[in-house]
Amino acid sequence: MPKKAHSKQRRSAAETVRNRVNRGGARLWKHADFKDLPPAAVAQALSRLAREGVVQRVAKGVYYHPEQTSFGPSIASSTAVAAGTITAPLHPSGLTAANVLGLSTQNPYRTEFATTAPGPPSALREFVVHTGRPAERENLSAEEGAILEVLRQRAESSDLSPDQTANRLLRLLADEDRFKRLVHAASAEPPRVRAMLGALGDELNMPPRLLAQLKRSLNPLSRYDFGRLSSLRHAMQWRAK
Output the CATH code of domain 3-76.
1.10.10
Q: What is the pLDDT of residues 66-85, one digit of tens each?
A: 776 555 565 555 556 666 66
237 pLDDT above the threshold of 90: yes
- The answer to whether 158 and 165 are in contact (CB under 8 A) is yes
Among residues of the chain, what percentage have pLDDT more than 70? 86
Q: What is the pLDDT of residues 77-123, one digit of tens each?
A: 555 666 666 677 788 899 989 988 999 988 777 788 898 888 877 76
Mean pLDDT, the chain, as a whole number?
86
222 pLDDT above the threshold of 60: yes
Q: What is the model's pLDDT at position 181?
A: 96
Q: What is the pLDDT of residues 182-218, one digit of tens each?
A: 999 999 999 999 999 999 999 999 999 999 999 999 9
Which SS3 state, helix, strand or coil, does residue 30 take?
strand
Lowest mean pLDDT among 16-25, 76-85, 166-175: 76-85
Grade residue 1 by pLDDT with cuts at 50, 70 and 90: very low
Q: What are phi and psi of 110, to 5 degrees?
A: -130, 125
Domain range summary for the chain, segments of one domain joined by + = 3-76, 81-238
pTM of the predicted model as reported, rounded to 2 decimal places: 0.70
How far is residue 193 from each of residues 146, 155, 239, measured CA to CA in Å?
Answer: 12, 11, 12
- The residues, ordered by sequence, that sit 6+ positions from 151 with a Cβ below 8 Å of its Cβ are 189, 192, 193, 196, 197, 229
